[in-house]
Amino acid sequence: MGKLKELYKEIWNEREHRCANCGMWIASPVVHNFSHKRSKGARPDLKFDKDNIEILCSSLNRHNRVGCHELLHTNPKKYRERNESI
C-alpha cells in the first residue's frame, strides 16, 4: 500500500466521517474523499501532513451529483455557498 493511501486510512480512522464543507455523512471512503488544503504541487512539504488534508464528499458519495471535492476545484464559489447553506 502506498504511503499516501496509508495516511488516508489513518485519517479516516481518526476523524468523523463527515464532509468538512457540507457535513454530509460519508459511509465508506474513496481516494476522492481526501483533499489537500494546500496543493501537493504548491507545497510538496505538506503532502503527508495530516493537518493539510481534509475529508470532503465526492461525486461517488453523492451518487453522481457534484461533491464538495469536485466543486472546490471546478467552482469554488458554489463550494463556499454549499458550506454557507448548512
pLDDT digits (tens, 9 = 90+) for 29-67: 999 999 999 999 999 999 999 999 999 999 988 887 899
Instruction: Report the mean per-residue pLDDT for the chain.
Output: 92
| Residue 74 parent element (H or E) | helix 68-74
Residue 79: CB partners within 8 Å, gap ≥ 6? 21, 68, 71, 72
Q: How many CB atoms lie within 10 A of CB 25?
A: 10
Alpha carbon of residue 52 to chain centroid = 10
Confidence (pTM): 0.88
- 34 pairs with which residues across the strands? 55
Give pLDDT, residue 35: 95
Q: How many CB atoms lie within 10 A of CB 45?
A: 9
